[in-house]
């Protein structure tokens, strides 16, 4: 599932063709994705200007001039793709990216200026909904989210305060969206490796120095991943169709039985299962 860096990459790709532009025509080609579309979904969007594109955790938020916000979640395989009318076709271009099909083009936005934005989702785990912007704090998907990991509100002292007394493993605590928003399996594994902390450590044992180290590692991993355009493992591509390349910088995730990349460690990455998810870490240097 795309995590914060991938969703931020999509937001940055969509912004130039959506922000400040009118949705001249919206179309949903089926009644539902993971959830049913809101009543009159296409009609409420058609003719409305997009004032701004935001992101909160793993959600895209399109702020509309009519006082509503369109919330979109990519799910497991959702992908926004921009089609520009003046883009010359080049040899090797595909009408659809490999692994996708027109039959999975479920939502289409025809924008002022000629851009067409298509949401393709083979597994249909993504979803879209509309809500009054002023009621955002009460929207179930957004209520109670922790701070963004690269915001000033996220720090070592804050992190320690949120995990004090928790008996859950440290990895599980970081995946809790109420502690910090937008982190998923990949970037938690990477941050814990950079911080030299075991995913099996009880969250409540995180002292001030370790909390500072971990908060810094989380911030650095997220910033590095955004700069790399996210990680492309199976389904993810940017709105321009480009693949992210942070997967080439993984130090832990997916590297089972490979040498640890920490200086002077000499250990090997191992894989365990926590709460049904694969965890990759080095038992030698992560304590």
Could you report the per-residue pLDDT of 145-176, keeping only the tens digit for each? 999 999 999 999 999 999 999 999 999 999 99
Indicate the fold that domain 4-138 takes in CATH.
N-terminal domain of MutM-like DNA repair proteins (3.20.190)
183 phi, psi to nearest 5 deg? -80, 145
Catalytically active residues, by annotation? 2-3, 58, 277
pTM value is 0.91
Average pLDDT, whole number, for the chain?
92
Res 11 pLDDT > 60 = yes
Using CA atoms, how far apart are residues 109 and 117, in angstroms rounded to an integer?
5
Nearest CA to 170 out of 265, 286, 58 is that of: 286
230-242 pLDDT, tens digit each:
886 655 555 666 6
Question: Using N-to-C axis directions, what is the helix angle for 208-227 and 185-195, rounded to 10°?
Answer: 130
Q: How many CB atoms lie within 10 A of CB 138?
A: 10
Nearest CA to 130 out of 52, 71, 55 is that of: 71
CATH 1.10.8.50 maps onto the chain at: 156-281
Indicate the class that CATH gives domain 156-281. Answer: mainly alpha
């Amino acid at each position: 599932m795309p995590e914060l860096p991938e969703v931020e990459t999509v937001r940055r790709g969509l912004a130039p063709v959506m922000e400040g532009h009118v949705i001249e025509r919206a179309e949903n080609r089926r009644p539902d994705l993971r959830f049913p579309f809101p009543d009159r979904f296409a009609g409420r969007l058609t003719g409305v200007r997009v004032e701004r594109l935001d992101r909160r955790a793993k959600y895209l938020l399109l702020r509309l001039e009519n006082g509503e916000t369109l919330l979109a979640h990519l799910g497991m395989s959702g992908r926004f793709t921009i089609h520009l009318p003046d883009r010359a076709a080049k040899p090797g271009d595909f009408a659809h990216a490999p692994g996708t099909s027109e039959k999975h083009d479920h939502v289409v936005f025809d924008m002022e200026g000629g851009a067409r934005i298509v949401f393709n989702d083979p597994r249909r785990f993504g979803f879209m909904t509309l809500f009054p912007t002023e009621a955002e704090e009460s929207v179930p998907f957004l209520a109670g989210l922790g701070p963004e990991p690269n915001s000033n509100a996220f720090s070592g002292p804050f992190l320690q305060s949120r995990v004090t007394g928790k008996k859950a493993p440290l990895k599980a605590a970081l995946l809790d969206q109420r502690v910090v928003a937008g982190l998923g399996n990949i970037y938690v594994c990477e941050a814990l490796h950079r911080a030299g902390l075991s995913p099996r450590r009880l969250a409540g044992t995180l002292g001030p120095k370790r909390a500072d180290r971990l908060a810094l590692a989380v911030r650095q991993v997220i910033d590095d991943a955004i700069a790399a355009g996210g990680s492309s493992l199976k389904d993810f591509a940017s709105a321009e169709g480009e693949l992210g390349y942070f997967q080439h910088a993984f130090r832990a995730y997916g590297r089972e039985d490979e040498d640890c990349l920490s200086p002077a460690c000499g250990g090997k990455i191992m894989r365990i299962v926590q709460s049904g998810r694969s965890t990759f870490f080095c038992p030698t240097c992560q304590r």
